[in-house]
């Protein structure tokens, strides 16, 4: 039986395992590997983001929407709903491999909502 996500260390395990898959993915990898310069710092930042989102005890200081819109522009508006679907599938797969429970389910739900929101906002930003 797997345990639930309970600590920052659990979130770091999830985030780092997930992004190892993303970096190897033929479709997603190029967006991330060509954009992220310091993976250690990025993984720490994303761990803080998910810790804030799941445990509501830390404060994430950043603007994920701005970052994603910027990447989409840099790639000539080529980020599609397919990319978000691939991202979400890898996220769910990684959670299922490592964890189960209320926080694990919440991490899936929050990722689903976030990916929908980000894609809609990226599409909206293209209209400006």
pLDDT at 28: 97
pLDDT at 79: 94
pLDDT one-digit tens code per residue, 47-79: 999 999 999 877 777 888 899 999 999 999 999
Distance CA 69, CA 10 (A): 29
pLDDT at 60: 78
Distance CA 95, CA 125 (A): 31
pLDDT (tens, 9 = 90+) of the chain, 128 residues, equals 899 999 999 999 999 999 999 999 999 999 999 999 999 999 999 999 999 999 987 777 788 889 999 999 999 999 999 999 999 999 999 999 999 999 999 999 999 999 999 999 999 999 87
pLDDT at 103: 98
pLDDT at 61: 78
Residues 6+ apart with CB under 8 A from 10: 3, 99
Domains located in the chain, CATH noted: 8-126 (1.10.490.10)
């Amino acid at each position: 039986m797997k345990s639930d996500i309970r600590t920052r260390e659990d979130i770091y395990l999830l985030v780092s395992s997930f992004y190892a898959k993303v970096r190897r993915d033929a479709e997603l990898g190029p967006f991330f590997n060509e954009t992220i310069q310091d993976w250690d710092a990025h993984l720490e930042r994303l761990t803080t983001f998910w810790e804030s989102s799941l445990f509501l005890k830390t404060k994430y200081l950043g603007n994920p929407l701005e970052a994603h819109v910027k990447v989409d522009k840099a790639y000539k508006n080529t980020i599609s709903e397919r990319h978000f679907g691939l991202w979400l599938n890898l996220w769910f797969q990684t959670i299922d491999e490592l964890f189960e429970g209320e926080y694990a389910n919440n991490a899936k739900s929050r990722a689903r909502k976030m990916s929908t929101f980000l894609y809609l906002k990226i599409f909206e930003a293209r209209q400006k």
